[in-house]
Amino acid sequence: MAYKHDYDKILTRLTVILSKLNDGEALSVKELAQEFKTSERTIQRDFNERLASFPIYQEKKKWKMQEGFRVEKTKSLEDEIVLDIIEKITEGIGGKFSTKAHKLLSKIKNEDFNPIYTKLNIEDISDKLSDIQIIEQAIKEKRVMQCDYNNEKHPTYTTTIQPLKIANFEGFWYLIALRNETLKKYYLKNLSHPKITNEIFETTSELEELLENSISIWFDKDYEPFEVKLYADKSAAKYFKRRPLPTQKIDSLNSDGTMEFSVTITHEMEILPLVKYWIPHLFILEPAWIKEILEDDTQNYLNLSKEIN
């Protein structure tokens, strides 16, 4: 989870990017990374995640604003965009958090109309705000933390962990942490009574990169990263060009609108649910063993469907 100075930098960067797009500019990830002195991966994440609700698209490695969706230019355009982004993100979280944020923002904004619409489907964690504040401090100060945790397999137990990130995957909140050098993912709603200790821990750049490039909660630091090659038909290719996966590399763009691309993952479950979601528009080309898993799962589904019906 980012902290205040991180939010300042991110919001400044996003408003500049949106202002450029609003002026009709076609933006290059590489050039923006150089302008803001950050990585291309970070800029790509801005487009793929932080600006995903805006009517923007990627064409020939350039990001553009869709025609007919530009915001009317005002003196306070940047301020309006920042407030609209914050409001829509907090609405996605819901509950008490969203209500408080809306009240605060209504004191700043002079109108209720917001041209930005998002549907994030993020679970409500407003009942965990006090715990999150403690966890956030432990992450920031790199302090070992104790907490209680329960899940379906075990009754509530106390554990000692090194908290790394609070992350959201597919709408659910997790605490990513190390325990005895093993990377663990704790469902945030099952975690309680966090306590910060005086013990300090260190992280590595490799671990930070792994977290940054994770596609789903299935990523694992103990598995060797490997590449998966995929083929997308015309309808799916548009989606993956507009919103590339974190480690996506385009191998070929074909004249018929289809696309071949590759992603680097650490666990097959990072990619299998995504391919299943896009059946029959997305295909695994390599490696063969993941193709076989998908084929077996699909056949098992068809067999079960026949039995039920």
3-27: pLDDT as tens digits: 334 445 777 788 888 888 888 899 9
* Residues of each domain in the chain carrying CATH 1.10.10: 4-108
Confidence of residue 205 (pLDDT cuts 50, 70, 90): confident
Which residues touch 23 (CB under 8 Å, ≥6 apart)?
A: none
The segment with the largest mean pLDDT, out of 69-83, 101-115, 160-174, 278-292, is 278-292
User: CA 217, CA 176: separation in Å to the nearest integer?
Assistant: 9
Nearest CA-CA partner of 85 in 116, 125, 120, 110: 116
For residue 68, pLDDT over 70 is answered with no
Helix (H, G, I), strand (E, B) or coil at 153: coil
What local confidence, expressed as pLDDT, does residue 2 receive? Answer: 41
Q: What is the CATH number of domain 4-108?
A: 1.10.10
* pTM confidence score: 0.56
178-197: pLDDT as tens digits: 999 889 999 999 999 999 99
Confidence of residue 273 (pLDDT cuts 50, 70, 90): very high
User: CA 207, CA 267: separation in Å to the nearest integer?
Assistant: 15
Q: Are 87 and 68 in contact (CB under 8 A)?
A: no
R_g of the chain, CA atoms, integer Å = 21
In whole angstroms, what separates CA 273 from the centre of its chain?
16
What local confidence, expressed as pLDDT, does residue 214 receive? Answer: 82
Q: What percentage of the chain has pLDDT greater than the value 70?
A: 80
Pull the structure tokens for residue 44. Answer: 């790509």
Stretch among 122-131, 242-251, 278-287 having the lowest mean pLDDT = 122-131
Cβ-based neighbour number of residue 204 at 10 Å: 9
Distances (CA, A) of 21 to 15, 54, 56, 59, 91: 10, 11, 8, 13, 25
Q: What is the CATH number of domain 226-308?
A: 3.30.70
Residue with tokens 């007919």: 68
Confidence of residue 56 (pLDDT cuts 50, 70, 90): confident
Kindly report the average pLDDT of the chain as a whole number.
82
For residue 74, pLDDT over 60 is answered with no
Given the candidates 3.90.1200, 3.40.50, 2.40.160, 2.30.30, the CATH classification of the domain at 126-204 is 2.30.30
Burial 92-129 (b: 16+ CB within 10 A, else e): bbbeebbeebeeeeeeebeeeebebebebebbebeebe
